[in-house]
Amino acid sequence: MSARAGSKPPIANAPISYGVFGATGGAGRVSPLEMLAGIADAGYVGCELGPPGFFGGAGQTADAFAAAGLRAVAAYVPIHFTAGDDTVERELCGLRRSAEELVACGRDGLLILADEGSRALLKAPAHDPGDPRLSLDPNGWRRLAQITRDAVQIAAEFGLRCSFHPHVSTYVEHPSEIDRLLALTELSLTLDTGHLLLAGGDPLACLRAWSERVNHVHLKDVRVDVLRAAKATGRTDFDQWWADVSVPLGRGDVELAAFTAELLRRGYDGWLVVEQDRGPTPRERYDEVAEEQRANFEFVERLLEQGNRLH
């Protein structure tokens, strides 16, 4: 972070706010070009990439972002750190494809690494980090550190930087696990306010503790009671109820005003990426989704104005 008095970080969105995640896309949904046009119309100046190839090849991706007048700010790269070498190599190939797309768009985006967890963790969001059945052992941590070093090296070959995104239902979700990651690697962090709160962290306290390592921010609001109810009733269909956890900014339990004010106080000048996770969205609901994302942009604008008045 570097101090810039009175400055406002640029605001971006992400395809997951429109129900695009993993390898999703396809018939019945708004086209990628329509999505980018809507994001720009709402006031955003950037967007993260979707899964590799979502906008086409590298050249098509660059053309799509240029047509919308948006900057490509990052690409999310999930990796099964506990899987076999063949699986990891396939995922690093996906990293290379995302890197090619970012370079075509201007070479200033981040490759965001994230653990993809396991089936056991998918059934145990916000796990106890002290439970050895749901935690990495020393060999697992060494493997994770080595794979991230390999990923950073690949990114460097494209002239790109990496960041790491702690994520619920993975081996790096709780603050103690994030501390372990930071101690073992030189990685910067993508700090996601929603995932941190759900995993048992305080986003504001985490920002204060890790501010020198934070180079990307996801602004997400969540309802913790939805997670608690799912855990209490033993639900294992994480993919089904997760969309109910993530809500429009200002309607959940994250103290976004205090968090944003602290970002400004510390001179954060990276991207603020709005993420409102949702399931695959049919075309007939696109206008509703687009209006929510416009409201999210306006909400962040107000937070930044309030924060700058405080400083």
Structure token pair of residue 196? 């941190």
Q: Report d(CA 227, CA 212) in Å as an integer.
A: 30
Alpha helix stretches (DSSP H) within the chain: 32-41, 58-68, 85-105, 119-122, 138-157, 175-184, 193-198, 203-210, 224-232, 238-245, 256-265, 286-310
End-to-end CA distance of the chain: 16
Which is more confidently placed, 173 or 2?
173
- Look at residues 99, 195, 182, 175 and name the one whose alpha carbon lies nearest to residue 145: 182
To the nearest whole number, what is the mean pLDDT of the chain? 92
* Multiple choice CATH, 11-310, 3.30.70.100, 3.40.605.10, 3.20.20.150, 3.40.50.2300: 3.20.20.150
Tell me: the pLDDT tens digits for 240-254? 777 789 999 999 999
Contacts of 298 (CB under 8 A, 6+ apart): 43
Name the one residue in this structure whose structure tokens are 């602290």: 262
pLDDT at 107 over 90: no
Segment 173-194 shows an average pLDDT of 98
What is residue 235's DSSP assignment?
-
Nearest one of 249, 244, 193, 275 to 14, comparing CA atoms: 275
The model carries a pTM of 0.94
So what's the pLDDT on residue 28?
Answer: 54
Q: 3-state class of 172 per DSSP? A: coil
Tokens of 284: 């007939």
> What residue has token string 């941590």?
141
